[in-house]
Amino acid sequence: MISTVLPTYNRSPLSFVKGEGSWLIEADGRRFLDMGAGIAVNALGHAAPELVATLTEQAQNLWHVSNLYKIPQQQALADILVETTFADTVFFTNSGTETAELAIKMARKYHYEKGAPRETFLTFEGAFHGRSTAAIAAAGSEKMVKGFGPLMPGFKQLPWGDMAAFEAAMDESICAVIVEPVQGEGGIRPMPEEQLKELRAACDRVGALLIFDEVQCGVGRTGKLFAHEWAGVTPDIMMVAKGIGGGFPLGAVLATENAASGMVAGTHGSTYGGNPLACAVGLKVMQIISDPAFLAEVSRKAGLLRQKLEGLVAAHPDSFEAVRGSGLMLGIKCKAPAGDLAVAGRDAGVLVVPAADNVLRLLPALNIPDEDIAEAVNRLDAAATATAFEAK
């Protein structure tokens, strides 16, 4: 018989009753170091005291009113996002997928209002933008789209890193280019700064919009508030979710005034998007993470983790190949099957997340204590030793 929860996930047998910082705890008291942080969601760790206080206070006053009314928490969060980024305006959603939907609508509407509609979006192999019909069409991988056709038309995938193919595809029929500055699900693949610059220049040349999907790599994850800041280029539209809610469902589409010019009253909406609970928490997250001192600490911790992981890879050349990524968004390219290593990690009390390309992802809380970083790598070391032993 089918499980009462639709079986679309291959779940591990773990189940937790409590979270504390970088730790997850099972009912029997067994503790796991959480290097996945809910897939880059729990940016300040589990049960962060500031977020618990903010959420509790908001819950005692007002949960939901609908976007028929002004929502001061939403306004304050929009203001800080505009203050700290390229953007002039923000729309709030409940998830990353919903930000993809709006980004796509916004780009099409932009060209329509300019009097020359454009259909085609360019995306990249290995991309992940969510699971809606538009978002799977955007990513285009067989794993995501098979059986769900007909797909939404208008998306063309290019090989990752093939700038000749990109330049050949860029002409005045292109509506927008959508890219993750650091691919997450695709296996922690940063797009080189030069390539991001080239995307910007090519979009400007043909009048296409540039959309950055920073759902996974944004909100301090790479040591800058947003990953594209490293390359010194800005998008026209940016998708944000995951970390910005610190664990509360929240997403945001940020845009320049020009890119957003078609989105007038009545063109888009959301019942829950931008509700007081989510925005109160998101505002607190942004106030903490946008502090330059906090971001400097992320970079320092990232250096520490990376150095220890390089040591781990060197110590286990049969299991691991290389470390890649940016900031606290790191991937270990594996030689042994990444899935087996993740299970061995679990047995050793450390949680990591497999990604495509046989990569293990580490996306810990941005405020993970140094001693937890050391302990996580010790446990991964034990896991690699155990897998190697079993393989023999």
Ligand X SMILES: *Cc1c(COP(=O)(O)O)cnc(C)c1O
Q: How far is the CB of 132 from ligand X (least distance, A)?
A: 8
Q: Tally the residues of the chain.
A: 392
370-391 vs 338-347: helix crossing angle, rounded to 10:
120
Q: Which is nearer to ligand X, 187 or 349 (CB)?
A: 187
The DSSP secondary-structure symbol of 230 reads: G
Q: Which helix (H) or strand (E) holds 31?
A: strand 31-34
Q: How far is the CB of 128 from ligand X (least distance, A)?
A: 5
Q: Which is nearer to ligand X, 48 or 353 (CB)?
A: 353
Q: How far is the CB of 37 from ligand X (least distance, A)?
A: 13
CB of 173 within 8 A of CB of 120? yes
Q: How far is the CB of 130 from ligand X (least distance, A)?
A: 4
Q: How far is the CB of 190 from ligand X (least distance, A)?
A: 13
What is the Cα gyration radius of the chain?
A: 21
Q: How far is the CB of 4 from ligand X (least distance, A)?
A: 22
Q: How far is the CB of 213 from ligand X (least distance, A)?
A: 5
- Rounded to whole angstroms, the Cα distance separating 255 from 186 reads 25
- Which residues in this chain contact ligand X in the complex, by CB under 6 A? 95-97, 128-130, 180, 184-185, 213, 215-216, 241-242
Cis omega before residue 150 (within 30°)? yes
Indicate the residue whose CB is closest to ligand X.
96
- Rounded to whole angstroms, the Cα distance separating 73 from 52 reads 16
Q: Which is nearer to ligand X, 217 or 289 (CB)?
A: 217
Q: How far is the CB of 68 from ligand X (least distance, A)?
A: 25
Q: Which residues contact 176 (CB under 8 A, 6 or more apart)?
A: 103, 104, 107, 121, 122, 203, 208, 209, 210, 211, 236, 237
CB of 368 within 8 A of CB of 48? no
- Rounded to whole angstroms, the Cα distance separating 388 from 262 reads 57
Q: Which is nearer to ligand X, 51 or 178 (CB)?
A: 178
Q: How far is the CB of 23 from ligand X (least distance, A)?
A: 23
Q: Which is nearer to ligand X, 77 or 336 (CB)?
A: 77
Residue 354 has φ and ψ, to the nearest 5°, of -65, 150
CB of 219 within 8 A of CB of 282? no
- Rounded to whole angstroms, the Cα distance separating 209 from 107 reads 7
Q: How far does the chain reach from its first CA to its final CA, in angstroms?
A: 38
Q: Which is nearer to ligand X, 178 or 313 (CB)?
A: 178
Q: Which is nearer to ligand X, 242 or 316 (CB)?
A: 242
Q: Which is nearer to ligand X, 175 or 353 (CB)?
A: 353
- Rounded to whole angstroms, the Cα distance separating 31 from 128 reads 31
Q: Which is nearer to ligand X, 85 or 216 (CB)?
A: 216
Q: How far is the CB of 355 from ligand X (least distance, A)?
A: 10
72-84 vs 276-289: helix crossing angle, rounded to 10:
30
Q: Which is nearer to ligand X, 217 or 384 (CB)?
A: 217
**Tokens found for residue 34:** 């959480």
The DSSP secondary-structure symbol of 335 reads: S
- Rounded to whole angstroms, the Cα distance separating 222 from 329 reads 6
